[in-house]
């Protein structure tokens, strides 16, 4: 949906008329001066035509509602559809509020009828007559035909919108639709983020406290173990040393008594002869050592040290030393670290390629408006003396865009050629490629519009364009100098080549499609054009020689 916004205050508008009026109302210093004479003349006129108008209004309403009930047409009651209906019914019920009717609403601002008056609705502009109707909008006062004043809203004496104390009045479409809230399509949204954070915080704090405590123990454990090793790296924990290790372990945390536990707290299996009790060296609780359920595990201390970013044992013993850590301790201490680590890890190739794509896309998106602008200048100058600078600019920008597009294309292709093992990543890859192709399709089209313009412009050009040659040096990355052809020529030819190859690709795709759908009659013309394209491509390649693209 295209939206009109006020150039001064950026308020969004529905129609041109509304904008017009908004400009008059909000951004004009001139006060509306009322002419006494015209007003009195006007009120007389109104008085005269009033009876007639009301009648016609009624008939229109009956007509409109007649449409929606074909069977029930006989009992349409004219009087109940009259405009002053709302307040009238209120009186019947003995309301204490002073009664306002349509007549009480000011008419000072009404536009007076002039000959050849047309409906003020911008798109309508019907001549106002008895047949089309000639009605003042009670709010803005402008004159409209029947069709564009079929709306009702509540107005106060000063013809201002007021849902509480107003009376029902007939208004125009624009006033009705520009009433506050009419165009509000943003439904209710409740933001619970703050509440959520508040609920989460105590939990997180607790978690962190816990993690810190366990981490400290673990660090202590590792350091005392490693200092123990450094004393005597050669031995393989002889029996007395093993006892020493236990002593170190028990120093860190008080071990839970074996008798207290009958089931493993993690997997809830009953301890028995095969399912032995073990102690987690970090929390001291009893867990099982079943490797399938992964309730606890012997982990080498230098692995743990690496995970915690601390110094492990300097000297490695002959047999690696490990220490037992249970699942819940591992989670509390490590999963947060792992999470942050994964988030900041270097991007996988797929995402790297995607970032390149995004960068190129931003470049294309930001240069595109510039290109459109220069194109418009060129179009305006068509036929007259063409500004050489403008042409050069356009060529330059276009070249840049085409190069970026080519790069974009090649990256998206290489992205789609990556081999991935995980199904989800493959889907991701497919979708990114799809979006990239779509993006290219949309943005390449306007680029093709230029050559025609340029051709006509070139006829007017005299002499070689030095400046564009200089500019071309900037794109050294893409354009290599050769003896035979100038830089600009090469670039042009390359662009042609890109276009042709793309077309060839599309056409061969279409041939395949036609074969699949068994539409053999479509194939011969397609193939002939394919041959023609091949010829053209060969010719260009020939011209370019060594400068042709690698792909």
Partner 1 sequence: MNLLQSASNYIDRITGSLPANGVHGTSTVGINKNKIKVLLLDKDTTSIVSMITTQSHLLSNAIYLIDTITNTTRTKMRHLSCVVFIRPTPDSIQALVEELRNPLYGSYELYFTNIIKKSSLERIAESDDHEAVTKVQEVFADYLCVNPDLFEVGLAKPNIFGSMPDSWTAEALNRSTETLTAVLLALKQKPLIRYDANSLLSKKLANEVSYRVRQDPSLYDFRRPDTPPVLLILDRKNDPITPLLLPWTYQAMVHELLGITNNRVNLSVIPDVRPELQEIVLSGTQGDNFFQKSMYLNFGDLGATIKEYVDQYQTKTKNNTNIESIDDMKRFVEDYPEFRKLAGNVSKHVTLVSELSRLVEAEGLLAVSELEQSLACNDSHNQDLKQIQIILQSPNISFDSKVRLVALYGLRYEKNANFSLPALLDLLDHQQPHPYGYNGVNAIKSLLSYAGAQKRDEGIFGGEGFFSRAQSGFKGLKGVENVYTQHTTLLSKTLSSLLRGKMKDASYPIFDDGVRPKLVETPAYGVDTNERPQNVIVFIVGGVTYEEARVVAEINAGTPGISIVLGSTKIINSYDFIKNLNDISHKGLIKGQPLTRLTFHTNNSSRAAEEIK
CA distance 115 to 128: 9
* Cα→Cα distances 96→85, 92, 102, Å: 17, 11, 18
Q: Rounded to the nearest whole angstrom, what is the least distance from the CB of residue 96 to partner 1 in the complex?
A: 8
Judged by CB under 8 A, does residue 532 bind partner 1?
yes
CA distance 155 to 165: 8
Contact assessment for residue 393 and residue 374, using Cβ atoms and an 8 Å cutoff:
yes
Q: Which of 2, 79, 114, 164 binds partner 1 (CB under 8 A)?
A: 164
Q: Pick the closer one to partner 1 by CB: 146 or 278.
A: 146
CA distance 195 to 182: 31
CA distance 480 to 467: 17
Judged by CB under 8 A, does residue 98 bind partner 1?
no
Q: Which of 135, 150, 334, 405 binds partner 1 (CB under 8 A)?
A: 150
Judged by CB under 8 A, does residue 494 bind partner 1?
no
CA distance 92 to 98: 13
Q: Rounded to the nearest whole angstrom, what is the least distance from the CB of residue 496 to partner 1 in the complex?
A: 10
Interaction residues for partner 1, span 16-35 (CB under 8 A):
none
Q: Pick the closer one to partner 1 by CB: 171 or 252.
A: 171
Interaction residues for partner 1, span 429-468 (CB under 8 A):
431-432, 434-435, 438, 441, 445, 448
CA distance 548 to 540: 9
Interaction residues for partner 1, span 70-89 (CB under 8 A):
70-72, 74, 76-77, 80-81, 85-86, 89
User: Which tokens hold the place of 157?
Assistant: 């004496």
Q: Pick the closer one to partner 1 by CB: 153 or 218.
A: 153
Interaction residues for partner 1, span 262-281 (CB under 8 A):
none
Q: Which of 339, 382, 389, 470 binds partner 1 (CB under 8 A)?
A: 339
Judged by CB under 8 A, does residue 512 bind partner 1?
no
Number of residues that bind partner 1 (CB under 8 A): 91
Torsion sign across C-alpha atoms 543, 549, 550, 551: negative
Judged by CB under 8 A, does residue 195 bind partner 1?
yes
Interaction residues for partner 1, span 353-392 (CB under 8 A):
354, 358, 361-362
Contact assessment for residue 379 and residue 371, using Cβ atoms and an 8 Å cutoff:
no
Judged by CB under 8 A, does residue 251 bind partner 1?
no
CA distance 448 to 444: 7
Judged by CB under 8 A, does residue 160 bind partner 1?
no
Q: Which of 33, 47, 123, 422 binds partner 1 (CB under 8 A)?
A: 422
Judged by CB under 8 A, does residue 5 bind partner 1?
no
Contacts of the segment 529-536: beta carbons below 8 A, 24+ positions apart: 530/504, 533/500, 533/503, 533/504, 533/507, 534/504, 536/500
């Amino acid at each position: 949906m295209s939206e009109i916004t006020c150039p001064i205050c950026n308020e969004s508008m529905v129609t041109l008329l509304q904008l017009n009026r908004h400009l008059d109302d909000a951004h004009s210093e001139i006060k509306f001066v009322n002419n006494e004479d015209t007003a009195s003349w006007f009120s007389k006129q109104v008085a005269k035509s009033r009876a007639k108008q009301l009648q016609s209004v009624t008939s229109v309403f009956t007509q409109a509602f007649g449409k929606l009930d074909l069977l029930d047409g006989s009992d349409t009651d004219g009087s109940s559809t009259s405009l002053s209906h709302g307040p009238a019914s209120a009186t019947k019920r003995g309301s204490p509020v002073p009664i306002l009717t349509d007549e009480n609403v000011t008419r000072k601002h009404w536009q007076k009828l002039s000959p050849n008056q047309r409906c003020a609705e911008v798109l309508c502009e019907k001549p106002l007559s008895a047949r089309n109707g000639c009605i003042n909008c009670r709010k803005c006062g402008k004159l409209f035909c029947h069709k564009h004043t079929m709306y009702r809203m509540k107005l106060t004496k000063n013809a201002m919108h007021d849902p509480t104390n107003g009376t029902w009045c007939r208004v125009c479409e624009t006033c009705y639709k520009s009433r506050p809230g009419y165009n509000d399509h943003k439904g209710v949204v409740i933001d619970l983020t703050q509440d959520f954070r508040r609920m989460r915080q105590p939990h997180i704090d607790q978690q962190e406290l816990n993690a810190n405590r366990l981490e400290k123990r673990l660090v202590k454990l590792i350091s005392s173990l490693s200092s123990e090793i450094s004393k005597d790296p050669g031995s393989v924990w002889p029996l007395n040393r093993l006892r020493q290790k236990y002593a170190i372990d028990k120093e860190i945390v008080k071990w839970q008594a074996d008798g207290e536990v009958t089931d493993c707290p993690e997997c809830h299996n009953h301890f028995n002869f095969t399912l032995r009790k073990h102690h987690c060296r970090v929390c001291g609780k009893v867990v099982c050592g079943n490797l399938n359920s992964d309730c606890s595990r012997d982990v080498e201390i230098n692995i743990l040290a690496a995970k915690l970013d601390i110094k492990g044992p300097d000297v490695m013993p002959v047999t690696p030393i490990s220490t037992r850590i249970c699942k819940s301790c591992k989670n509390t201490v490590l999963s947060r670290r792992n999470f942050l680590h994964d988030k900041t890890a270097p991007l996988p190739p797929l995402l790297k390629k995607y970032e390149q794509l995004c960068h190129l896309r931003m470049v294309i998106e930001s240069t595109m408006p510039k290109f459109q602008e220069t194109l418009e200048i060129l179009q305006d100058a068509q036929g007259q003396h063409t500004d050489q600078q403008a042409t050069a600019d356009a060529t330059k920008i276009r070249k840049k865009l085409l190069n970026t597009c080519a790069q974009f294309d090649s990256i998206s292709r290489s992205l789609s050629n990556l081999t991935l093992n995980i199904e989800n990543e493959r889907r991701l890859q497919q979708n990114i490629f799809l979006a990239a192709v779509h993006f290219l399709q949309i943005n390449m089209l306007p680029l093709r519009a230029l050559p025609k313009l340029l051709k006509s412009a070139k006829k007017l050009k005299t002499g070689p364009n030095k400046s564009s040659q200089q500019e071309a040096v900037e794109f050294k990355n893409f354009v290599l100098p050769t003896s035979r052809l100038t830089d600009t020529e090469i670039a042009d030819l390359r662009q042609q080549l890109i276009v042709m190859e793309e077309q060839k690709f599309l056409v061969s795709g279409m041939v395949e499609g036609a074969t699949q759908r068994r539409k053999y009659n479509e194939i011969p013309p397609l193939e002939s054009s394919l041959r023609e394209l091949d010829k053209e491509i060969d010719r260009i390649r020939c011209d370019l020689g060594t400068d042709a693209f690698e792909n």
